């Protein structure tokens, strides 16, 4: 995801990470994860798993591509950077 953020941030693309499903100290685990992978985008913590429930997340990672109007245009389950890149490029055209 870091690569996507770096490739598209100059074109107005925002990337947010949401840490979920951690049972023991989710804030600390999210901070450690962001530090380990040198993430430069915000990582929010879904301590009560409300976001996961609302968006019906079944596995991680799950990526939502949301347009400027707030409409979900693509849902990608699993780590598929090629598909994510294509979805973002399509919206930017």
What local confidence, expressed as pLDDT, does residue 21 receive? 82
CATH says 2-92 is which class?
A: alpha beta
Q: What confidence score (pLDDT) does residue 78 get?
A: 87
pLDDT of residue 59: 85
Q: What is d(CA 7, CA 87) in angstroms, rounded to the nearest whole number?
A: 13
Tokens of 36: 């380990």
Q: What is the pTM of this model?
A: 0.80
> Which parts of the chain are beta strand (E)?
17-19, 43-45, 62-66, 72-77
pLDDT attached to residue 13: 92
Question: Domain residue spans in the chain?
Answer: 2-92
What pLDDT is stored for residue 23 in this prediction?
A: 80
* Cα–Cα separations (whole angstroms), residue 18 to 25, 80, 91: 15, 17, 22
For 75, phi then psi, to 5°, come to: -125, 125
Residue 42 contacts residue 16 (beta carbons within 8 Å): yes
For residue 5, what are the CA distances in angstroms to 12, 17, 48, 50? 10, 11, 26, 25
Report mean pLDDT in 10-residue bins for the chain, 93 residues: 85 91 87 90 91 90 92 91 93 92
């Amino acid at each position: 995801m870091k690569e996507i953020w770096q490739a598209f941030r100059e074109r107005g693309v925002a990337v947010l990470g949401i840490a979920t499903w951690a049972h023991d100290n989710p804030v600390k685990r999210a901070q450690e994860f962001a530090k380990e992978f040198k993430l430069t985008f915000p990582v929010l913590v879904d301590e009560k798993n409300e976001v996961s429930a609302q968006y019906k997340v079944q596995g991680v990672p799950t990526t939502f591509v949301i347009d400027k109007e707030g409409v979900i245009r693509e849902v990608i389950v699993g780590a598929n950077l090629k598909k994510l890149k294509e979805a973002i490029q399509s919206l930017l055209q």
